[in-house]
Amino acid sequence: MASDRFSSLPISRAQLVNLESLGYKKMTAVQAQSLPHVLEGRDIIAQAKTGSGKTAAFGIGLLHQINPKFFGIQALVLCPTRELADQVGKELRRLARNTANIKLVLLCGGKPFSPQKASLGHGAHIVVGTPGRIQDHLRKGTLRLDGLKTLVLDEADRMLDMGFSEVMARIIAQTPKTRQTLLFSATYPEPIKRMCRSVQRNPVTVTTESAHKPGVIEELFYQVKRHERNNTLLALFEHYQPDTALLFCHTKKQCDEVASFLRERQIEALAIHGDLDQRKRDQVLVRFANNSCSVLVATDVAARGLDIKSLQAVINYELPRDPEIYVHRIGRTGRAGKKGIALSIFTESEQVRVNAIGQFQNKPAIYDVHESLDRRPGFSLRSPMVTIQIDAGRKNKIRPGDLLGALTGDAGLPGSRIGKIDIFDQSSYIAIERRSVRKVLSYLANGKVKGRSVRGRKI
């Protein structure tokens, strides 16, 4: 077992002092296992997700390599989304606090091009950004990567899922072959393996989360005949009565079908998958996060970007082929010190998948029989809150306080009946306790928010 003290690493005194001032007392698992190799200049494949301390695992390494006197891009971090790039940029800046004159530039889409070009023109050492915009800069000659020492592919699986594979290959082709390549990914499916083979040299593999803490997630497997899947699913809800659940299906069509099946049986469920447009996707996520939808039915790809704090249950409507994906799926429950339950439905032909999961987790699968589940006829699962959409948002200068003020002041609603408020560019979403929905809608039909009439509707 590697030491978990930062002082065991060959890094500068200034960085050790900085880490201490950041309150990083000891290394996280992914840091302890990767940093010694990263600092030796090795390529690594690390399986780690947000929250594991992965940014510092590559950040401390890439900063160690940078020569501040040479104004050329020496490190490039590719991220799937602007949000992640922002987050990574912030953490790298914190890590670079005690190192003089290190310049970092964020290059993400959706932002004006010229200021980015100007920042690059002034000379920079580190670029963090999304593949599309980085490729634009390379094409226009505003970015050069021929002096690159470290390349980081952050959330590589998500970048592939988002269709960045070719763009990434083109970017990588413009970096020196001598570079160090650090790849971080929450999962390790075949396309990622292929990518590692083509862009890395003799990488060290770091795995820190193949198994969840014992006893935190109760896992049960239910064998059914193909036609019994839906009925068993219903029985699982009736028996376990989870307040919140994430349900996994293989295909988009299946997600839609299962969600409508549940809704017909009074279980409030919404499907989320790649066919939804951004607005619909935002609405589903808002409703799930603000307690106005209890069950989300998702594909693996759609679930990957979800920022879900803790769920009572994860249900596999079908089992994935890859046991690692199973482990990743069920890791959505049993978080934040709470217990979770993972329920999997499988047919005889999927028995091999259950076996593979048992082997992968190094523990036998526990089977239960669906006939023994307590059925509760008339059971329904209704969320405590309802979401109201208002047709005014950030562009209309609406802030959460404006909505809260209008509803608690003019409409006379107690603040305790109002839940999460989410403001988007063109619209806002406000969670209201079910019993007060009518009152809020009738207020919005006549009243005003920030001096302006708005329209509100239940979604």
Q: How far is the CB of 31 from ligand AMP (least distance, A)?
A: 6
- Give the CA radius of gyration of the chain: 25
Among 36, 53, 320, 419, binds ligand AMP (CB under 6 A): 53
Nearest one of 323, 246, 351, 353 to 289, comparing CA atoms? 246
Nearer Cβ to ligand AMP (46/167)? 46
Nearest one of 161, 90, 100 to 131, comparing CA atoms? 161
CA distance 142 to 46: 31
Residues 15-34 within binding reach of ligand AMP (CB under 6 A): 24, 27-28, 31
Tell me, by CB under 6 A, how many residues bind ligand AMP.
12
- Does residue 214 interact with ligand AMP by CB under 6 A? no
Nearer Cβ to ligand AMP (15/28)? 28
- Which pair of structure tokens corresponds to residue 147? 């002096």
Nearer Cβ to ligand AMP (93/263)? 93
CA distance 267 to 167: 42
Question: What is the CB-side half-sphere exposure of residue 185 using CA atoms within 13 A?
Answer: 24
CA distance 58 to 92: 9
Among 16, 50, 68, 97, binds ligand AMP (CB under 6 A): 50
Q: How far is the CB of 55 from ligand AMP (least distance, A)?
A: 3
Instruction: Catalogue the E-assigned strands of 101-176.
Output: 104-107, 126-129, 150-153
Among 15, 34, 47, 55, binds ligand AMP (CB under 6 A): 55
Q: How far is the CB of 408 from ligand AMP (least distance, A)?
A: 34
Residues 104-143 within binding reach of ligand AMP (CB under 6 A): none
- Considering only the stretches 48-56, 191-199, 226-234, 448-456, report the one whose residues sit in contact with ligand AMP under the rule CB under 6 A: 48-56
Q: How far is the CB of 8 from ligand AMP (least distance, A)?
A: 13
CA distance 267 to 238: 10
Tell me the residue type at 58: F
CA distance 443 to 140: 53
CA distance 96 to 215: 39
Cα 206–chain centre separation: 20
Q: How far is the CB of 359 from ligand AMP (least distance, A)?
A: 29
Q: How far is the CB of 446 from ligand AMP (least distance, A)?
A: 46
Nearest one of 131, 171, 170 to 154, comparing CA atoms? 131
Nearer Cβ to ligand AMP (32/224)? 32
Among 1, 10, 13, 51, binds ligand AMP (CB under 6 A): 51
- Does residue 54 interact with ligand AMP by CB under 6 A? yes
Q: How far is the CB of 416 from ligand AMP (least distance, A)?
A: 31
Q: How far is the CB of 57 from ligand AMP (least distance, A)?
A: 7
- Does residue 91 interact with ligand AMP by CB under 6 A? yes
> Are 208 and 29 spatial neighbours (Cβ–Cβ below 8 Å)?
yes
Among 18, 47, 52, 316, binds ligand AMP (CB under 6 A): 52
Query: What's the longest Cα–Cα distance across the chain?
Result: 73
Q: In the 8-state DSSP scheme, what is residue 374?
A: P
**Interface positions with ligand AMP (CB under 6 A):** 24, 27-28, 31, 50-56, 91
